[in-house]
Amino acid sequence: MRAPDFWKSRGLPALLLSPLGMLYGLSVAWKAATARPYTCAVPVICVGNLTAGGSGKTPIAVAVAAMLQLRGAGDVFFLTRGYGGSAEGPLLVNRQPLAMVGDEALMLARIAPTVMSKNRAAGAMFAIKQGASVIVMDDGHQNFTLAKTLSLVVVDNLGNGLMIPAGPLRESVAQGLARADAVIAMQDNLALGGFSGPVLRARLVPDGARFSGEKVFAFAGIGRPEKFVTSLIEAGAIVTGTQFFPDHHPYSTAEIARLRTLAGDAALVTTEKDFVRLNTEQRQGIAVLPVAAIFDQPALLDSLLATV
Q: Which residues lie across from 218 on neighbouring strands?
A: 242, 269
pLDDT value for 5: 85
- pLDDT over threshold 60, residue 25: yes
Question: What are the pLDDT digits (tens) for 267-278?
Answer: 999 999 899 999
Mean confidence (pLDDT) of the chain: 93
- pLDDT-derived band at 179 (thresholds 50, 70, 90) equals very high
- pLDDT over threshold 60, residue 264: yes
Helices then strands, counting H and E runs in the chain, come out as 10, 13
Rounded Cα distance, 183 and 2, in Å: 24
161 to 2, 109, 170, 230, 264: CA distances (angstroms):
17, 33, 10, 24, 41
| pTM listed for this prediction | 0.89
Rounded Cα distance, 142 and 49, in Å: 8
H or E element that contains 291? strand 291-295
According to the per-residue pLDDT averaged within each range, which of 61-75, 115-129, 224-238 is highest? 115-129
How large is the average pLDDT for residues 197-212? Answer: 92
